[in-house]
Amino acid sequence: MHASLARCGIAGWLDFDRDLRAHGPTVRAMTAVLALRGPGGEGVWLDEHIALGHRRLPVLDPAGGAQPMLAKDGERVLAALAYGGETYNHRDLALPAQTRSDTEAVLRAYLRWGEDFAQRLEGMYAIALWDARRECLLLVRDRLGVKPLYYLPAGSGALFASEPKAIAAHPLGRLSVDLDGLRELLASVRTPGHAVYRGLREVRPGEIVRIDRTGVHARRYWRPAPAEHRDDWPATVHTVRSLLSRAVTGQLHADVPLCALLSGGLDSSAVAALAVAARPDLRTVSLDDPDDAPHARAAAAFLRTRHEQVTVDAAQLADVVHRAAALTALELPTGLGEFHVSLYLLFRSVAERATVALTGEGADELFGGYPWCHDPRAAGTFPWLAGPYAARADPSGPSTDVLSPELSAALELPEYRDDAYASALSEVDHVPSEGPAQRRMRASRYLHLTRLLPILLDRMDRMSMACGIEARVPFCDHRLVEYAYNVPWSMHTYDGREKSLLRAAVSEDLPADVLRRRKRPYPVASDPAYELALRSQLLHVLEDSTSPVRPLLDTAKAWHLIVAPIAQPGLDAGRRAVELLLSLDRWLRTVPLVSLPF
């Protein structure tokens, strides 16, 4: 049996100059903010210089898996752990255990292997571990960054949590945003470690952060690394299918209801097909989108799953309560509000049926599913921000036209993007034998895995956790990522189509119409009523003299967004601008702007 610890959130406080044993209410306040991540239980542990908080939903072995969990030698505490997520291989670590929980396996792994323990874990996790013997705190994040983890240096220590809002609940954690944070937000880049809020840091995917009396020390324990690919085509196809099947099967373990999201596209259908082989009674769920719905029904019929479709209409998407719930979960403004709200509503419906959901997230970044992956024009910047793709993929870039001239000049967004792109390219290592074309495609894949994928994983985690759903991502299994990252691009596109390798790997598992289906963007609202509702909301913002976003705008251009003709849904930069301004207005009512040069 597998002790599933779904819906977890962690928070805590480290301070070498304070006795924190009297500060239980403060840490409980931080932990309470994460209630949606763990609505079924709370735990707080206090020691002289460290306080750990945890929210969880115990579904098996409640006493054995309770957190924070301590390792003791008699009465002496050796280490304490607050941990969120899943370690899928915890039973394979061959560690002595008194419980069936993966929490204990993680703690014992550290006691045996020290900081090298992270390299032995397989799963999605955010870990806060206090080593009382060394007087140091370790913050550890899974390799691809599925589970979020943040920290804010404060006093002679740090505050840390699964979400910034938990840090903000601490008196020392008042968050603000300066010009650099606005740049990161509005340039549509995802700088690893940057968390938009002033002074706040995000633990990078595959990173261990150690905080002790000497300061903060960070090191990577994993990142995509180049290697010579020596398998021929049949062996490559077989290995990809084998690795994906292993990942899916390993992520089926749960002692709570489980389902798979199924759009009828290649990625979600591949996951469902491999899951149903082990779970013939698999439940699948999809949005009732006019384009996706027939394909989802056909795939479900072929796989014989128990399929349900969820309807989300324009009124639900525009509803201020739904938008507030989604944006509160996201914690940052976005020009892609409808994507977040629709995903939130989908997960809210899923929560009536299941607690765990398998998804196809990550396949496009790993196997080259986007059109810009195959377009030589998408060069010189992040591919998804290049030329014809920016209007769809960039949630804020086109929208910055409505900013005031003074703010636009101060932001210097083109220069910021260029610097971020150059910095990302400098991280890419190559195999010596690679030619120019191969080097270019390796760099593109690295950018997708380290800059674009984290944005999508964060969206998935925030929207699912807000509904009490644990979303799992088999395509982010690090063994599959390591292998596919080093497959030559010519194999990824052997028949001239996107994701040729993935199609070949699951060719015997799916019907021909699914295998032939081309990549489609996430569904967007086609009903003009949605955009009209958004414009009405923006009208109220622009007429509100107390609106914090108004001083940042070119007022004439902002008003034009309300009266401009409605363009093709999903491709209109104007809609993205309206979405962004609405979310900025809401965000800036709770987060102060500081140190602006005008």
The catalytic site residues sit at 8
| Helix runs in 34-158, H state only | 102-113
Q: How far apart are the first and last CA of the chain?
A: 60
22 class by beta-carbon count within 10 Å (0-12 exposed, 13-18 middle, 19+ buried): exposed
**Listed residue (64, 65, 67) closest to 55, CA to CA:** 67
**Listed residue (224, 131, 298) closest to 476, CA to CA:** 224
Contact assessment for residue 159 and residue 27, using Cβ atoms and an 8 Å cutoff:
no
| Helix runs in 169-291, H state only | 179-186, 233-250, 266-278
Give the alpha-carbon dihedral of 163, 169, 173, 177, to 10 degrees: 70
493/368 Cα distance (integer angstroms) = 8
Count of all residues that appear for the chain in the document: 598
HSE on the CB side for 362, CA within 13 Å?
A: 29
Instruction: Tell me which amino acid residue 318 is.
Output: A
Peptide bond before residue 488 is cis, with ω within 30 degrees of 0:
no
SS3 labels along 200-226: CEECCCCEEEEEECCEEEEEECCCCCC
Residue 521 DSSP one-character state: P
Query: In what helix (H) or strand (E) does residue 129 lie, and over which residues does it extend?
Result: strand 123-131
Which two three-digit tokens encode residue 91? 């039973």
Question: Coil, helix or strand for 42?
Answer: strand
463/351 Cα distance (integer angstroms) = 12
- Residue 105's CB: how many other CB atoms inside 10 A? 23
* Helix, strand and coil in the chain, % to nearest 5: 45, 15, 40
Q: Using DSSP, how many helices (H) and how many strands (E) does the chain show?
A: 23, 17
- In the block, tokens 């323990």 appear at 117
